[in-house]
């Protein structure tokens, strides 16, 4: 109720333990706090905050237009309602090494369990579009060193994303990933790999936990959890899935409302008021208010 009862430190330790457990951690992307609550209720291991989703929800393309303040605010809104660890897309760290350092400290204060910082040139582009450019290896190593050195909680997970596969090839991406691990990255996110074979190659070549991005309409084949587990992937994110499902339903609903003049035919497919109140723990709020009000001293309004 109101905020999760599980501390940020506990959620970070749970994420760390999960990375070392040998099992696959599933992190669907939450586009609202309410969707994060549903992710938790349905038994997933974590929540992801996507930069692409945040941009889209603000009516912007994913080309580096959002700020640290906007990402931090959304991350806090989501992390505060769930007992699950929250992993956040911090783009390029929002600038140079000092910006990456500040980003980590701000996100720590928002209660999230970790963030990923990528090696694209700022302003970045969606990882599954053409025309990406990556910074030098040395520049990215400085970003990672700054992020790792700035965290106050050693359990905060710093994930290094490399977009080099599409720019320099898979061999260069693997070499970058190894260097990023040596620089202190806890988790490696190889973006826009072609499929299972490349993911297997990455897994065998990099001695660190690996994250796979199962985003729709991208360059990477959509693999099921059994396949990802057999490869040895540690974390899978579904960054835009829930937003796409929701926006598809919203568009269909609006078209039907515009054409028929009523939503009557759509009611059967809607989340009911009772289900919404159940998810929100409406009864818990009511009971809590009644319990504290019963013990409060009476006032005469004078």
Give tens-digit pLDDT for 72-116.
999 999 999 999 999 999 999 999 999 999 999 999 999 999 999
DSSP H helices, the chain, are 8-19, 33-41, 51-57, 68-79, 97-109, 137-150, 165-168, 170-182, 196-205, 225-231, 241-260, 273-280, 282-294
Catalytically active residues, by annotation: 48, 62, 89, 91, 116, 118, 126, 161, 191, 213
**Is the pLDDT assigned to residue 183 strictly greater than 70?**
yes
Give the confidence band of 127 by pLDDT, cuts at 50, 70, 90.
low
pLDDT value of residue 297: 66
Reported as type and span, the H/E element at residue 159 is strand 157-162
Q: Which whole number is the average pLDDT over 31-42?
A: 98
The region of weakest confidence among 34-38, 41-45, 258-262, 289-293 is 289-293
pLDDT value of residue 299: 56
Return mean pLDDT, the chain.
Answer: 94
pTM of structure? 0.94
SS3 29: strand
Instruction: List C-alpha distances in Å: 177 to 154, 211, 298.
Output: 21, 12, 64
Beta bridge pairs of residue 238: 28
pLDDT value of residue 2: 83
What is the largest distance, in Å, between two alpha-carbon atoms of the chain? 76
- The ranges assigned to domains in the chain are 8-240, 247-292
pLDDT value of residue 129: 61
pLDDT value of residue 132: 76
Fold for the domain defined by 8-240: TIM Barrel (3.20.20)
Q: At 37, give phi and psi (nearest 5°).
A: -65, -40
Give the confidence band of 301 by pLDDT, cuts at 50, 70, 90.
very low
pLDDT value of residue 124: 73
The region of weakest confidence among 127-131, 134-138, 239-243 is 127-131
pLDDT value of residue 87: 98
Share of the chain above pLDDT 70, in %: 95
């Amino acid at each position: 109720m109101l905020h999760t009862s599980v501390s940020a430190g506990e959620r970070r330790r749970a994420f760390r333990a999960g990375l070392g457990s040998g099992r696959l951690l599933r992190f669907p992307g939450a586009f609202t706090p309410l969707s994060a609550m549903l992710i938790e209720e349905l038994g997933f291991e974590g929540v992801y905050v996507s930069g692409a989703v945040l941009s889209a929800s603000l009516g912007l393309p994913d080309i580096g237009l959002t700020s640290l303040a906007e990402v931090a605010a959304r991350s806090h809104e989501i992390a505060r309602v769930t007992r699950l660890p929250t992993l956040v897309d911090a783009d390029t760290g929002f600038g140079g090494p000092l910006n990456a350092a500040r980003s980590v400290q701000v996100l720590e204060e928002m209660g999230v369990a970790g963030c990923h910082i990528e090696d694209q040139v700022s302003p970045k582009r969606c990882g599954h579009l053409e025309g990406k450019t990556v910074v030098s290896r040395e520049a990215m190593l400085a970003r990672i060193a700054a992020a790792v050195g700035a965290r106050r909680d050693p359990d905060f997970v710093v994930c290094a994303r490399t977009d080099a596969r599409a720019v320099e090839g898979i061999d260069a991406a693997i070499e970058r990933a190894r260097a990023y691990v040596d620089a202190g990255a806890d988790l490696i996110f190889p973006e826009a790999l072609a499929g299972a074979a490349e993911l297997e190659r990455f897994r065998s070549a990099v001695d660190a936990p690996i994250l796979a991005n199962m985003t729709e309409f991208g360059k990477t084949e959509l693999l099921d959890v059994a396949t990802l587990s057999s490869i040895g992937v540690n974390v899978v994110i579904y960054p835009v899935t829930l937003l796409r499902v929701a926006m598809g339903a919203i568009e269909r609903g609006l078209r039907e409302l515009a054409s028929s003049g009523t939503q009557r035919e759509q009611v059967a497919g809607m989340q009911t008021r009772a289900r919404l109140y159940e998810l929100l723990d409406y009864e818990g709020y009511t009971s809590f208010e009644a319990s504290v009000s019963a013990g409060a001293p009476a006032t005469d309004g004078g």
